[in-house]
Amino acid sequence: MAIDKKTTLLTTEAVPQEEAMHRYRHEAMACDWGLYIACAERSYGRDVAQAVFEDVDRIECELSAHHSTSDVSRINTLKCGESTIVGMDTLRCLQAALEAGRRSAGAFDVFYKRRERGSDSRGTERRESIGRDNPIHFDLERRTVTANVDRLFLDLGGIGKGYAIDAAIPIILDWSIDSALLHSGESTLYALGMAPCGKPWRIKIRHPLDFDKYLGELHINHQAVSGSGRLRQGEHIVDPSTGKPADRAWGVWVIAESATLADALSTAFMLMTPDEIRSCVDTSDDFTAIVFEETDSGVELCMYGREMTIFLTS
């Protein structure tokens, strides 16, 4: 499970710079967000961006463990058996996080910090057990979260940006925009429709061992991409079952219809073996995973799930 910061393994440098394309920036969730909008009037695009980024800020206030009044902070103060009322975005994000944990057999775990701190005697169990044992339960109708244990240490940093991107897409569509690209620090993004040129959006993927180089390009539309990798300074993804940093893959990119899913699985697959990833694909083939990993032939790109074309850099 990742802490808030993710390696930037995507870049929007290949996004076409056209007169009808306007770019807007915003600081949120400890990174620089970017929104590309295809529209005639920059002032209209600015209004769209303001609506999008206001919603991103609102979601951050609910999901961030660093805001003392957030839903997550209140959840983290609960003792076993206690409950608190939270917003629907928190409940939906939690629901998505627990589902990602189930799908990844516990490799994605938003409660990884309590395992790291040794507050859970089961912290050394296999990830499969972690994926089944939920420290909370929630009631969507009553909008409540109840703690099943003390000291939760909930952290939605590995999925919150993807969730906020997914929540922003309906807002963009409500403004009658059908061509846009939204990214959170270029670690997770969603490409809405086609680029203004009428072709898919071109997204470059960085080389995880040399950020000045690129492995290739992805051409996408109506899809999300999220990338995770080992940082050049220190390790940032920790296996919840061992407390040790990820050391199998150098980089992972997940392409899916949901930025929430792509965000979570790009983190989880950093910890999983090829067989475990294949098992996840067999359960539900609704994504493509590209893994830069060690093989018998050396370090190479391996693809799992739905086939798609990677335009490799020569």
Per-residue pLDDT of the chain (314 residues; tens, 9 = 90+): 433 345 566 676 656 666 679 999 999 999 999 999 999 999 999 999 999 999 999 999 999 999 999 999 999 999 999 999 999 999 999 999 999 999 999 999 999 887 655 544 443 344 444 445 689 999 999 999 999 999 999 999 999 999 999 999 999 999 999 999 999 998 999 999 999 999 999 999 988 888 788 888 999 999 999 998 875 434 556 666 666 666 677 889 999 999 999 999 999 999 898 899 999 988 787 899 999 887 777 778 889 998 888 887 75
| H or E element at residue 239 | none
Residue with tokens 């990602």: 100
> Residue 187 to residues 182, 207, 241: CA-CA distances in angstroms?
11, 13, 25
pLDDT value of position 19 = 63
Q: Would you state the structure tokens that stand for residue 74, as one six-digit string? A: 């209140």
Please list, in sequence order, all residues whose beta carbon lies within 8 angstroms of the beta carbon of residue 193, skipping any fewer than 6 positions away: 178, 179, 180, 221, 222
Which residue type occupies 157? G
User: What pLDDT score does 243 carry?
Assistant: 64
Q: What is the pLDDT of residue 116?
A: 59
Question: What's this model's pTM, rounded to 2 decimal places?
Answer: 0.89
Give the pLDDT confidence score for residue 296 in this predicted structure.
72
**Distance from C-alpha of 10 to C-alpha of 186, rounded to nearest angstrom:** 5
Class of residue 245 by CB neighbours under 10 A (exposed 0-12, middle 13-18, buried 19+)? middle
DSSP H helices in 64-177: 71-76, 88-103, 112-116, 127-132, 160-174
Instruction: Give the per-residue pLDDT at 307.
Output: 84
The superfamily (CATH) of domain 10-54+175-312 is: ApbE-like domains (3.10.520.10)
Domain residue limits, the chain? 10-54+175-312
